[in-house]
Structure 1
Amino acid sequence: MSNFTILKNGRVIDPLQGRDQVEDVWILNGNIVEPGSVESADCRVLDVDGCWVVPGLIDMHVHLREPGEEYKETIASGTMAAAAGGFTGVACMPNTNPVNDNATVTAFIREKAAQCNARVYPVGAISTGLKGEKLAEYGEMKKEGAVAVSDDGCPVVDSQLMRRALEYASSHGLLVISHAEELALSRGGCMNEGELSTRMGLRGIPAAAESIMVQREIELAELTGVHIHIAHVSTVAAVRLIRAAKERGVRVTAETAPHYFSLTEEAVTGYNTNAKMNPPLRSEADRRAIVEALADGTIDVIATDHAPHTVLEKEVEFNIAANGIAGLETSLSLSLALVREELLSPQRLVELMSCNPAAILGVGGGTLIVGKTADVTVIDPDRKYIFDAAKSFSKAANSPFDGWELQGLAVATFMGGAETYNVL
Structure 2
Amino acid sequence: MTTFTNARLIDPEALTDEIGWLTIENGVITARGTGTPPTGDHMDCGGKCLAPGIVDLGVKVSEPGERHKESFASAGRAAAAGGVTTMITRPDTLAAIDTPETLEFVTRRASTDAIVNVHHMSALTKGREGQEMVEIGFMKDAGAVAFTDCDHVVGNAKVLVRALTYARSCNALVIGHPQDPTLSQGAAATSGKFATLRGLPAVSPMAERMGIDRDIALVEITGVSYHFDQITTARALPPLERAKANGFDVTAGVSIHHLTLNELDVGDYRTFFKVKPPLRSEDDRLAMVEAVANGLIDVISSMHTPQDEESKRLPFEEAASGAVALETLLPAAMRLVHADQITLPMLWRAMSLNPARRLGLDAGTIEVGAPADLVLFDPDQPFVLDRFALNSKSKNTPFDGARLQGRVLGTWVAGNRVFGE
- Equivalent position of 2:149 in the other structure: 151
Structure-1 separation of matches of 2:44 and 2:221 = 53
Partner SS state of residue 317, structure 2 = helix
TM-score if structure 1 supplies the norm length? 0.95
Structure-2 separation of matches of 1:174 and 1:395 = 33
**2:153 partner amino acid:** P
- Equivalent position of 1:88 in the other structure: 85
Is residue 379–residue 409 contact of structure 1 (8 Å, CA) maintained in 2? yes
Is residue 177–residue 231 contact of structure 1 (8 Å, CA) maintained in 2? yes
Is residue 138–residue 172 contact of structure 1 (8 Å, CA) maintained in 2? yes
Is residue 32–residue 373 contact of structure 1 (8 Å, CA) maintained in 2? yes
User: By how many angstroms is 1:18 displaced?
Assistant: 5.3
Structure-2 separation of matches of 1:283 and 1:169 = 35
User: By how many angstroms is 1:35 displaced?
Assistant: 5.6
User: Cα RMSD between the aligned structures?
Assistant: 1.7
User: By how many angstroms is 1:218 displaced?
Assistant: 1.1
**1:318-343 Cα distance to aligned partner (Å, 9 max, x none):** 11110000011111111122112221
Q: 1:26 aligns with which of 23, 28, 52?
A: 23
Is residue 2–residue 24 contact of structure 2 (8 Å, CA) maintained in 1? yes
- Equivalent position of 2:323 in the other structure: 325
- Equivalent position of 1:281 in the other structure: 279
User: By how many angstroms is 1:129 displaced?
Assistant: 0.3
Matches within 5 A, 1:97-176: 97-115=94-112, 116-176=114-174
**1:348 partner amino acid:** M
Matches within 5 A, 1:377-388: 377-388=375-386
Is residue 122–residue 147 contact of structure 1 (8 Å, CA) maintained in 2? yes
Matches within 5 A, 1:6-45: 6-17=3-14, 19-34=16-31, 41=40, 43=41, 45=42
Q: Note the residue ranges of structure 2 that are not aligned, 5 or more in a row.
A: none
Structure-1 separation of matches of 2:136 and 2:408 = 35
- Equivalent position of 1:338 in the other structure: 336
* CA 39–262 in structure 1, closer or farther in 2 if over 3 Å, else same: closer
- Equivalent position of 1:205 in the other structure: 203
The percentage of aligned residue pairs carrying the same residue is 37
Is residue 168–residue 222 contact of structure 2 (8 Å, CA) maintained in 1? no
Partner SS state of residue 327, structure 1 = coil
Structure-1 separation of matches of 2:347 and 2:75 = 23
**1:196 partner amino acid:** F
Is residue 383–residue 408 contact of structure 1 (8 Å, CA) maintained in 2? yes
**1:356-400 Cα distance to aligned partner (Å, 9 max, x none):** 000011111111122221111112111111111111010111111
Structure-1 separation of matches of 2:331 and 2:15 = 24
1:314 to 2:312 alignment: yes
Partner SS state of residue 141, structure 1 = helix
1:70 to 2:88 alignment: no
Structure-2 separation of matches of 1:145 and 1:415 = 20
Structure-2 separation of matches of 1:133 and 1:94 = 16
**1:236-280 Cα distance to aligned partner (Å, 9 max, x none):** 111222122222222210000111121111111211111111100
Between 1:302-311 and 1:6-15, the stretch displaced more is: 6-15
Q: 2:192 aligns with which of 181, 185, 194?
A: 194
- Equivalent position of 2:354 in the other structure: 356
Structure-2 separation of matches of 1:255 and 1:248 = 19
Partner SS state of residue 319, structure 1 = coil
Structure-2 separation of matches of 1:243 and 1:335 = 24
Partner SS state of residue 34, structure 1 = strand
- Equivalent position of 1:263 in the other structure: 261
- Equivalent position of 1:224 in the other structure: 222
User: By how many angstroms is 1:19 displaced?
Assistant: 4.7
Structure-2 separation of matches of 1:155 and 1:378 = 38
Structure-1 separation of matches of 2:416 and 2:87 = 17
Structure-2 separation of matches of 1:19 and 1:284 = 30
**1:185-243 Cα distance to aligned partner (Å, 9 max, x none):** 11121111111111111110111121101111111112222221001211111122212
Is residue 271–residue 316 contact of structure 2 (8 Å, CA) maintained in 1? yes
**1:114-150 Cα distance to aligned partner (Å, 9 max, x none):** 1322111100000000000010111222122110000
Between 1:365-374 and 1:295-304, the stretch displaced more is: 365-374
Between 1:166-175 and 1:203-212, the stretch displaced more is: 166-175
Structure-1 separation of matches of 2:416 and 2:246 = 43
Structure-2 separation of matches of 1:167 and 1:298 = 26
Q: 1:420 aligns with which of 415, 418, 421?
A: 418
Is residue 222–residue 251 contact of structure 1 (8 Å, CA) maintained in 2? no
Is residue 17–residue 367 contact of structure 1 (8 Å, CA) maintained in 2? no
Is residue 17–residue 369 contact of structure 1 (8 Å, CA) maintained in 2? no
Structure-1 separation of matches of 2:76 and 2:378 = 21
